[in-house]
Amino acid sequence: MESSARRRVAVARGDGIGPEIMDATLSILEAAGADLEFVPIRIGSAVYAEGTTSGVSDDAWQAISDTKVILKAPVTTPQGGGVKSVNVTIRTAYGLFANVRPCLSYSPYVPTRYPGINLVIVRENEEDVYGGIEHRQSHDVTQALKLISRPGSERVIRYAFEYARHFGRSKVTCFTKDNILKMTDGLFHQVFNEVSAEYPDIQADHWIVDIGTARLADTPELFDVIVTPNLYGDIISDVAAEIAGSVGMAGSANVGAEVSMFEAIHGSAPGIAGQNVANPSGLLQGAIQMLYHLGMGPVASRINDAWLYTIESGVHTADVFDTVHSTKLVGTREFAGTVVANLGQAPRKLAGHRTSTNPVAFSVTPAARRLEEKRLTGMDAFFEWRDTPEELAQMVLSVELDPFELVMISNRGQAVYPNRHPETFLVDQYRCRFLAPAPIRHEDLVSLLGRLVGSGLDLLKMEGLFEFDGAPGYSLGQGE
């Protein structure tokens, strides 16, 4: 019987294994007495098939805006162009800036070489290459824009520190690739340094993402909370979940100021869909996080206890079954039925896993700051060109450039003019860097572009070059 007091939650059954693991999860929530009303929403394959490229139906937008909480099963993202990822669309449309992925091992009941894994990955959830801003620029070259903003970085980094403080975690580690990506990842790292200074009670360190990931895979106990830009977070959270035991065991919360979405970290696993073999634990863990988020701690703990008890009693789905620690191989439905039967039980061996690592919508408003003085100094103009860089330079220099100077031409970032190595491999997209020694206006750029295009050059795009308080807001060409 429904009562008006029930908390409404939007529920997306998803694709592939989505419907079966969602049914299993909801059956456990209902049996445990979670005081929720499930509002079904349509997203994913069926909506794409209707021609809606976002994959989100109109009624789904409305239901999410009304309920502010989504429990979402995985959705298949069709390969290739034409449609956008539902996951990314919902995360960015509702400002779900922090993707919180607790990662625990359940040793010895779920085999892992690393029995002590207990870490949380806080992944930036809206920026980086996930803006999906991609272009085919020339016959040879495609590009994706990687966007990292100061407020976006600050929100998620503050969230990671607040999370660590709230849950008594001692260290926050930042992963970036700022030895190469000095402006974008460099900004994330810089903001990390600034924010960490406000949390002297929490240790802070930084790793380059490649060696950091290697260490994560080798010595995960080095890490406690990891905060990282979107793409690295996506990759390392699967690595962490898999080495902890199975991607099928980990849940994930997408936290925003108003709306939050809870899910499994894994995908729709089409290869095992409809066979009643998928592990519903990842989605159940997402649902448990949701219950904590909704202030329903007692029912969340009751379900988590029954689930831990089920895992330690050896009743396992195929992905984590082994002949040493498992006692019974079960399907999706039977696993859920066992968790329901175990409601009221408490784990004995996995009692240490009862501490909640639920997300909280901390207030993480970026700090006020002084805006630096911004000055236009030139532009990078990109052209399609199939002859040599020297011939391109000749053509550019035949145009009236004043008040600009051509300071560099690069190919895929490598400087090839005024000097180049004969071995440098060349494709058909070149960047010409123009700088003006004297102050210029945007109109000067537009008029130079007009002259360059007028000479027959095939313009692909331009980027303005700016200085901020006198510091260049652009990177050098390789070898410049």
The footprint of ligand NAD (CB under 6 A) covers 17, 74-77, 87, 247-248, 263, 266-269, 271-272, 278-279, 282, 319
Residue whose CB is less far from ligand NAD, 21 or 457? 21
Residue whose CB is less far from ligand NAD, 85 or 424? 85
Min dist CB 42 to ligand NAD, Å, is: 15
Treating both helix axes as pointing N-terminal to C-terminal, what angle do 150-166 and 184-196 enclose, rounded to 10 degrees? 40
Q: How far is the C-alpha of 395 from the C-alpha of 290, rounded, in Å? A: 61
Residue whose CB is less far from ligand NAD, 16 or 389? 16
Quick one: DSSP state of residue 224?
S
Q: How far is the C-alpha of 303 from the C-alpha of 257, rounded, in Å? A: 26
Min dist CB 99 to ligand NAD, Å, is: 10
Residue whose CB is less far from ligand NAD, 79 or 363? 79
419 closest CA partner among 387, 427, 411, 456: 411
Min dist CB 274 to ligand NAD, Å, is: 12
Min dist CB 247 to ligand NAD, Å, is: 5
Residue whose CB is less far from ligand NAD, 252 or 429? 252
Residue whose CB is less far from ligand NAD, 279 or 289? 279
- φ, ψ at 301 (rounded to 5°): -65, -40
Residue whose CB is less far from ligand NAD, 263 or 444? 263
Helices (H), 7-83: 18-31, 45-49, 58-67
Strand (E) or helix (H) holding 188:
helix 184-196
Residues near 144 by beta carbon (within 8 Å), at least 6 away in sequence: 129, 132, 133, 134
Q: Which two tokens stand for residue 407?
A: 């300071």
Cis before 389 (ω within 30): no
For residue 100, the cross-strand partners are 122, 253
Residue whose CB is less far from ligand NAD, 256 or 389? 256
Min dist CB 76 to ligand NAD, Å, is: 4
Residue whose CB is less far from ligand NAD, 73 or 204? 73
* Residues 428, 433, 435: CA angle, nearest 5 degrees: 165
- Cα distance from N-terminal residue to C-terminal residue, the chain: 71
Measured in residues, the chain has a length of 480
Residues near 175 by beta carbon (within 8 Å), at least 6 away in sequence: 206, 207, 208, 209, 212, 213, 226, 227, 228, 232, 233, 236
Quick one: DSSP state of residue 475?
P
Min dist CB 29 to ligand NAD, Å, is: 17
Q: Which two tokens stand for residue 289?
A: 């996080």
Strand (E) or helix (H) holding 38:
strand 36-41
Min dist CB 17 to ligand NAD, Å, is: 6
For residue 378, the cross-strand partners are 435, 465
Min dist CB 221 to ligand NAD, Å, is: 25
Q: Are strands 405-411 and 429-435 parallel, antiparallel or unpaired?
A: antiparallel
Residue whose CB is less far from ligand NAD, 74 or 229? 74
Min dist CB 93 to ligand NAD, Å, is: 15
Quick one: DSSP state of residue 327?
S
- Residue sitting closest to ligand NAD (CB): 267
Min dist CB 313 to ligand NAD, Å, is: 19
Cis before 108 (ω within 30): yes
